[in-house]
Every structure is written in structure tokens, then in C-alpha cells.
Amino acid sequence: MSDIGLPEWPQYDERERAGLIRALEQGQWWRLGGGEVDAFEREFAEYHGAEHALAVTNGTHALELALQVLGVGPGDEVVVPAFTFISSSQAAQRLGAVAVPVDIDPETYCLDVAATEAAIGPRTKAIMPVHMAGQLADMDGLGKLSDASGVPLIQDAAHAHGARWNGRRVGEFGSIASFSFQNGKLMTAGEGGAVTFPDRESYEEAFLRHSCGRPREDRGYWHRTSGSNFRLNEFSAAVLRAQLSRLDEQIETRERRAPVLARLLGEIPGVVPQGRDPRADRVPHYMAMFRVPGLAGERRDALVDTLVARGVPAFVVFRAIYRTNAFWETGAPDATVEELAARCPNAEAITDDGIWLHHRTLLGTEEQVHRVAEIVAEAVAAS
């Protein structure tokens, strides 16, 4: 394994250290006794232009809770991209709902608006765009569709901390958004998640549901709604407050490096980087994604192995969700894999020829970005 000296991830300094000590010395380590989770929620909501934020155990639970607040339950349908991390569909399926996979745009890898429109039916309760790699899905097109159909959006913003669309932040679209703080994400406490809300009412409902249906001040075990325990602990929140304080600076670095990498990759014969919609005017770049259409399947897998051996943090992309066992266990639509694949040609193709590089690639120097592109060019040429 060679080393090109890219920065490590996660990153931390005295801010995380101080936060952990502060949480420790409060003497109360859960949110109902301490102040770190409350403070983090205020800071995170404000940062995204949302009315409220609720911190939770992880991004999968965040999606599940958000869908519950929208009233999604058994028999309802939720439109999800066919190309995403499995939590997008699993969250709906855990609630007894049916996840309806819809194709993505071949340039941005985000939910295709026309395909979404075609998938909306009488049982559709929510549309879940995923902001792939940090680029917001077409919020103009999806917003119009949501207004016209009356079906709410829930943004899976697990990749999109700090992202903007035409100057608007994730919390400024009037819809619920869900975030992840898992170890590889743009800010992290190892695990963790958050949901942002456009209004107090849905926040209050989510608060109840994330705390076993129990009001904050309850002392008599009056559980008002169903729910579960999705509460974040004080240590994680203290770390996340420190991580949030570093996010803007990291996004600025990645926004400087990303166009350089995309240009260099685009010059390599056979390599096609993820396109950028000009309306996505701030992208935090959770991943640097590209396709190698001439090297699909096993040749793509071998290419990723070569990149990893040469010190590039490369991975194969998500698998179209209907090509996993998980998808079919419960809450799958009444269709075969082949039928879904036929409806989702772009997700099919990207599953086979897509590669992503972890965002620490874009936190290095411009020289390192050039080195990464050289390695990709050599590896593709040798494939």
C-alpha cells in the first residue's frame, strides 16, 4: 500500500477534546439531564436555516422517525431513488410501507423528476430525494411536483450537511430533512443522526416519538404516542458541536479541490465524473464520484482494488437497492427485479460502472489531487 499523504478522517482537535471533558464533567450523560444535545440541536438547525433540529442515534433512525412524523405506515408507498444507500428504503420498509424505487438522473445521480412523477399513485405518502454526494436533487422540479400532488418531500441529506440550492439551505425548503453523522460522513461522532423540521409541531411530535412517546417533563410514565428510544447521548453531541464548527472551512477546501479533480478526471479517456447542476451552488462533496462505462462489473471492481492498493480511498458505488436481499424481505413492490431494472436503466448502469472516492481526497493539497488523478489515469489505462 503506497501512501500519498492524504489527510485522515475523522479529524479532531482541542475542540472535540474540550467538548468530551465538558460532557463528562456535567455528571449527566443523557440528553434529558445535560445541555449538549439541546445546544447542538439549536446550532445545527440555525446552520441549515431550519426552525428546529432533533438529534438522534443515527441516520437510519432519522429517516424512520421523519417518515413516522409524516404519518407513513403499513401499506403506504414511499418513492425512493433506486440508487442510494439501503437506509433510504429500509426506513420505509421498517414501518411496513412499500419502498418504490425510481430511476436517477444519469448526470447528477439524484432522483429523476419525470420518473418520480410517473411513480406517484394514490398510496404515495412521501417522496424521498437523496442529495447524492452532497449535490442537492432538483429541488425546483421536485418542489413543484410535491405542491401539485400534495405528497410531501423528505430530504435524505445524509451527504449534504451545509449544501445549498440557488442560495437556499437544506432547512429552507419547507420540508423535513434527515442527516447522518456516521464515521465517514461530513461531520461525525462515529454514529449519530439528526432531523430538521420546518415547524414546531412536527418537531414536538418527533421529540415524543424519539423518546418512547414520553414528554420531556413526564414523571408519571404517561407515554403519549408510540415510538422508540432514538435519543443521542451527550458525548456525541459535544463532539458534533466541535465538528460543526469546522464544517464551513472543510467545505470551502473541498469546493476549491473538487472542480480541479473533476476537470482532471474528465480528461481521462473512459472516465466520466458526476455532473453538477449549476443551481447546486454549494456542494459539500461527501464523495467524489465518477463512472468508467467501458470497465463495468468485475473490471470496475478490479480497478477499485488497484486504486486502493495505490493509496486512493476508492470504493464501488451503492448497488441498486432492488439488487439486494434486504430490499425483498419486506415492503417490496409487486414487481420482479427484472421489471424494476427495466424501469431504472441509469441506476443499473451506475451500479456497475460507478466509483467513489472518500471526501478526504478533497481535503488534501492541490498537488495531492493531481497525484490522485494521475493514479486513476494510469490504473484506467492499464485496465
Provide the residue type at 153 as one letter. L
CA pair distance 371, 355, nearest whole angstrom? 17
Give the nearest distance from C-beta 160 to ligand PLP in angstroms: 9
88 binds ligand PLP (CB under 6 A): yes
What is the chain's alpha carbon radius of gyration, rounded to the nearest angstrom? 21
Q: Which stretch binds ligand PLP (CB under 6 A): 54-62, 69-77, 246-254, 335-343?
A: 54-62
- As given in the structure block, the three cell numbers for residue 62 are 432519522
User: To 10 degrees, what angle do helices 366-381 and 234-266 make?
Assistant: 60
Of the residues 55, 60, 116, 214, which one makes contact with ligand PLP according to CB under 6 A: 60
315 an active-site residue? no
* Catalytically annotated residue among 161, 185, 359, 371: 185
Residue number, 52 or 159, with CB nearest to ligand PLP: 159
- Does position 158 interact with ligand PLP (CB under 6 A)? The reply is yes
CA 292 to chain centre: 23
182 binds ligand PLP (CB under 6 A): yes
- Secondary structure letter of residue 51 according to DSSP: S
Contact pick of 58, 188, 196, 243 for ligand PLP (by CB under 6 A): 58
Answer for the pair 282, 163: CB distance below 8 angstroms, yes or no: yes
* Strands ordered across the beta sheet of 314-316: 272-273, 287-291, 354-358, 314-316
Which span (152-160, 226-234, 257-265, 272-280) binds ligand PLP, by CB under 6 A?
Answer: 152-160
Q: Catalytic pick from 85, 181, 197, 322? A: 85
> Per-residue string for binding with ligand PLP, 289-328, x by CB under 6 A?
----------------------------------------
- The reply to whether omega before 10 is within 30° of 0 (cis) is yes
Phi-psi region of 238 (alpha: psi -120 to 50; beta: other; left: phi over 0): alpha
Q: Which residue's Cβ lies closest to ligand PLP?
A: 59
Please, what is the minimum distance in Å from the beta carbon of residue 87 to ligand PLP?
4
Tell me how far, at minimum, the Cβ of 326 lies from ligand PLP, in Å.
13
Cβ-contact 261, 373 below 8 angstroms: yes
Give catalytic status of residue 156 as yes or no: yes
How many Å from the N-terminal Cα to the C-terminal Cα in the chain? 19
Q: Strand pairing partners for 315?
A: 356
Q: State the minimum distance, in angstroms, from the CB of residue 192 to ligand PLP.
A: 7
Distance CA(325)–CA(160), nearest Å, equals 27
Residue 130 or 362: which CB sits closer to ligand PLP?
A: 130
Query: Does 156 participate in binding ligand PLP (rule CB under 6 A)?
Result: yes
Alpha-carbon torsion 274, 135, 331, 324, what sign? Answer: positive
Q: Please check whether residue 325 is in contact with residue 262, taking contact to mean a CB–CB distance below 8 angstroms.
A: no
Choose, from 3, 13, 219, 221, the residue flagged as catalytic: 221
Question: Has 159 been annotated as catalytic?
Answer: yes
- Helix (H, G, I), strand (E, B), or coil: what is residue 261? helix
Q: Is residue 196 a contact residue for ligand PLP (CB under 6 A)?
A: no
At 229, the amino acid letter reads N
Quick one: which segment of 15-23, 52-60, 289-297, 345-353 binds ligand PLP (CB under 6 A)?
52-60
Catalytic residues: 85, 156, 159, 182, 185, 214, 221, 231
Q: Which residues bind ligand PLP (CB under 6 A)?
A: 58-60, 84-85, 87-88, 130, 156, 158-159, 180, 182, 193
